[in-house]
């Protein structure tokens, strides 16, 4: 029962979108070998002959895509409770188990790779990589660096401190280097800094610059000299965005206040914008938040829509991220609808969430594309996301999720196995 390790996989009767080209193959076949590497992806008419010893899935006319990426998650942070409640009232063992559930829900929503930008210890990455738990392939920054009173300062308006162990405060060049080294010591794949204030932090504003120019440059240098690790910047307002790109970060997170200058600089430097629009389009309930936060959000939401729509029109280099933790976990592909809503074509949104996000994570040689030689990380959705991008938003429309040729979720009949219908990770034999 469970998974079909070490056997090849064939998916037929699907519409294929490869994550790179603009061409759709209407009647396609994909085959992967026993190592989970794609050996064929293209028209059924030219496909190798079907074999009885290959596990075969009839895609029932759905759409086969590369596994999707979320380049901005907080998988260690509950999305259904306040940060205060999570930090102070959650038993740490329960907290770990809740994180594992978030990881598997995220995977089942179609996210086969994720980059976590604060609050996810490196052990979760290693647990997924070793097959101990189910989840997206992970890169994690482990923590977040900002200055005292900045976006990552967990001091509450009461003066009490949440004492979040993943937040590092530093106030000079030596301090930020030390903070970056602590992150690397904790196993960070990249460094996350704050170059602007935030909507969710009480005492600063998105228009404030957080770390100073020389501090940003110092972190970028510290990350670079440790195996060329990248830096991601929480940068919401214009000042923080420009400082981040000029300082050499690889990705501008949020970028709500981006203008033409910021767009052009991203292009010149080969950087990425991760606009986390799910935060903007999620319903806003004044009863569930503090008045100052509600007001900030109202003030920024319309500006954000205008600015990001302009950035999309200028063809800025966009990767997909949701800020899940702030937004709900397990509904991550909703972000693609947000991008389309602000003017991106559905095909470009799919490319942003696959091959382009793979490029941001430095995995473009292995992931994000359905072509021979790439890893078989797959998502099969019912319907056609090019006609209606919302089909991806509902997890029940995600009929199959595959990582490296291993089926993680399957809600279609499986002609290669007598096991009926559903086949989720927890029904498998690996836990």
- Sites of contact with Zn ion (CB under 5 A): 323
Q: Return the number of the residue (215 or 323) whose C-beta is nearest Zn ion.
A: 323
Residues 6+ apart with CB under 8 A from 174: none
Rank residues 10 and 115 by Cβ distance to Zn ion and give the closer one.
115
Q: How far apart are CA 124 and CA 120, in angstroms?
A: 7
Main-chain dihedrals φ then ψ at residue 344, nearest 5 degrees: -75, 145
CB nearer Zn ion, residue 206 or residue 385: 206
Give the contacts of 1 (CB within 8 A, at least 6 positions apart): 419, 427, 428, 429
| Closer residue to Zn ion in complex, CB, 59/198 | 198
Quote the DSSP letter at residue 289: S
Alpha-carbon gap, residue 97 to 12, rounded angstroms: 36
C-alpha 423/C-alpha 429 separation (Å) is: 11
- State in angstroms the smallest separation of the CB of 199 from Zn ion: 11
**What gap in Å lies between CA 109 and CA 333, rounded to an integer?**
7
Least separation, in Å, of the C-beta of 396 and Zn ion? Answer: 27
User: Contact at 8 Å (CB) between 71 and 320?
Assistant: yes
At closest approach, how far in Å is the CB of 117 from Zn ion? 5
Cβ distance to Zn ion smaller for residue 323 or 414: 323
Tokens (6 digits) for 128: 């997924």
Please report how close the Cβ of residue 14 comes to Zn ion at its closest, in angstroms: 34
Residue 316 φ/ψ, nearest 5 degrees? -65, 150
Q: How far is the CB of 167 from Zn ion (least distance, A)?
A: 12
Strand, helix or coil for residue 197: coil
Nearer to Zn ion, 222 or 323 (CB): 323
Decide whether 62 or 143 has the Cβ nearer to Zn ion: 143
Question: Least Å distance between CB 342 and Zn ion?
Answer: 19
**Smallest distance from Zn ion to CB 146, Å:** 12
* Burial class of residue 23 (count of CB atoms within 10 Å of its CB; 0-12, 13-18, 19+): exposed
Which stretch of DSSP H or E encloses residue 42? strand 38-43
């Amino acid at each position: 029962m469970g998974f079909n390790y070490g056997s090849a996989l064939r998916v037929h009767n699907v519409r294929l979108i490869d994550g790179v080209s603009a061409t759709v193959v209407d009647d396609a076949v994909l085959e992967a070998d026993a190592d989970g590497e794609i050996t064929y992806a293209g028209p059924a008419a030219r496909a190798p002959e079907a074999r009885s010893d290959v596990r075969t899935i009839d895609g029932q006319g759905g759409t086969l895509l590369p596994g999707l990426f979320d380049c901005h998650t907080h998988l260690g942070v509950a999305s259904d409770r306040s940060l205060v409640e999570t930090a102070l009232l959650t038993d740490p063992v329960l907290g770990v188990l809740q994180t594992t559930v978030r990881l598997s829900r995220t995977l089942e929503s179609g996210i086969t790779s994720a980059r976590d930008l604060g609050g996810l210890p490196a052990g979760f990455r290693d647990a997924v990589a070793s097959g101990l738990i189910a989840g997206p392939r992970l890169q994690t920054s482990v923590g977040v660096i900002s200055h005292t009173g900045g976006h990552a300062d967990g001091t509450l308006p009461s003066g009490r401190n949440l004492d979040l162990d993943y937040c590092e405060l530093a106030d000079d060049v030596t301090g930020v280097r030390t903070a970056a080294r602590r992150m690397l010591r904790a196993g960070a794949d990249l460094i996350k800094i704050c170059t602007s204030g935030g909507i969710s932090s009480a005492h600063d504003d998105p228009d404030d610059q957080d770390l100073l120019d020389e501090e940003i440059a110092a972190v970028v240098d510290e990350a670079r000299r440790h195996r060329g690790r990248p830096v991601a910047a929480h940068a919401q307002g214009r000042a923080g965005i420009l400082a981040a790109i000029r300082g050499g970060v690889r990705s501008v997170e949020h970028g709500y206040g981006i203008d033409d200058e910021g767009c052009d600089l991203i292009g010149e430097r080969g950087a990425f914008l991760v606009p986390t629009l799910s935060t903007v389009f999620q319903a806003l309930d004044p009863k569930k938040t503090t008045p100052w936060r509600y007001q900030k959000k109202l003030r920024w939401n319309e500006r954000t829509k205008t600015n990001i729509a302009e950035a999309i029109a200028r063809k800025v280099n966009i990767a997909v991220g949701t800020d899940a933790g702030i937004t709900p976990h397990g509904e991550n592909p909703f972000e693609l609808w947000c991008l389309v809503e602000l003017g991106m074509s559905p095909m470009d949104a799919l490319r942003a969430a696959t091959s382009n996000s793979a490029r941001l994570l430095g995995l473009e040689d292995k992931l994000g594309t359905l072509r021979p030689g790439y890893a078989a990380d797959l998502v099969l959705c019912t319907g056609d996301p090019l006609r209606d991008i919302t089909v991806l938003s509902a997890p029940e429309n995600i009929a199959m999720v595959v990582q490296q040729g291993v089926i993680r979720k399957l809600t279609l009949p499986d002609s290669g196995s007598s096991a009926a219908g559903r086949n989720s990770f927890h029904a498998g034999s690996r836990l």
